[in-house]
Amino acid sequence: MVQKAETIWFDGELVPWDEAKVHVLTHTLHYGMGVFEGIRCYTCTDGGSAVFRLREHVRRLFDSAKINEMAIPFTEAQICDAIVETLKANRLAEGYIRPLCIIGTGVMGVYPGDNPVQTIIAVWPWGAYLGAEALEKGIRVKTSTFTRHHVNVMMTKAKTCGNYVNSILAKREAIAEGYNEALMLDTEGYVCEATGENIFIVRDGVLKTPPPGAILAGITRESVMLLAEDLGYTVVEERFTRDALYSADEAFFTGTAAEITPIREVDRRVIGAGKRGPVTAALQDAYFKVLRGENPKYGAWLTRYSF
């Protein structure tokens, strides 16, 4: 359950959580054309707080809107400021941030006409997305019977609300069969991504991750690639098949919500030693040091704030 905060930023104003409402004929509710972001903030070791890669997330929000021909009635700078304002108003030192842009009421039918674009920013406390133990012990994954979107069916570089029906179907299937997460293949049968995470495999000290294409090239994914190179690892963007995943030394998911989550099993095949491997552990350590403000090289990734 989402833990209720005090206020939500709604079209330029902070309103009480329970009063942040839309009409039942909101266009996005019927047809799925809306865009969103998932962002995290963390408590730093110096006692302050910071939003991780705020500007990059907000830029992607606007990119998603442009791809979907939605004109957000605010600037990127205004949304960045509004996110910090909302965190401060709710006195949230660590948690999750959800900006969302939707097409409001007006005409119905698939063509939205001149319906207004509305923007909300909600924040709430949130721990490990796949469970606290998952960060150490890893998770069990099932290859989904549902295929990830083709690049000319849905715009795969946009975080569009309706795109995630595909993820919901895959996640429900995996959970119903006793797994923690679903692995999705692209339309040619290559490993693509999970329902909301990117994937990496490790073999002989080399990291591989699917190239941009059908995947949403995640901000956490990019961060991990840079950190891995700092640690001396070779990182390759390359297509790979399920059998390459099955025989990997290690595998892990990355994402704002999932952070860096090890994969211990896929389709009943144990990955590596069946637990978090040394490369994954090293990357987790490096990643969380950045998030806590302990690596000055990546200080620009943090937007600091305090109450």
Q: Which residues are catalytic?
A: 159
How many Cα atoms occupy the beta-carbon half-sphere of 251 within 13 Å?
30
13: left (phi over 0), alpha (psi -120 to 50) or beta: beta
Tokens of 296: 């000055």
CB 306 within 8 A of CB 48: yes
Q: Which residues, 6 or more positions from 196, have their beta carbon under 8 angstroms from its beta carbon? A: 38, 164, 167, 255, 257, 258
| Residue type for position 173 | E
Residue 290 DSSP symbol = H
Residue 26: both structure tokens together:
């909101």
What are the distances in angstroms from CA 7 to CA 61, 83, 103, 110, 125? 21, 12, 21, 32, 13
Tell me which residue of 36, 37, 40, 50 sits closest to 96, measured CA to CA: 40
HSE-CB at 306 with a 13 A cutoff on CA atoms is: 4
Q: Is 281 helix (H, G, I), strand (E, B) or coil?
A: helix
Q: How far apart are CA 119 and CA 8, in angstroms?
A: 10
Centroid of chain to Cα 179? 20
- With a CB cutoff of 8 Å and minimum separation 6, the contacts of 81 are none
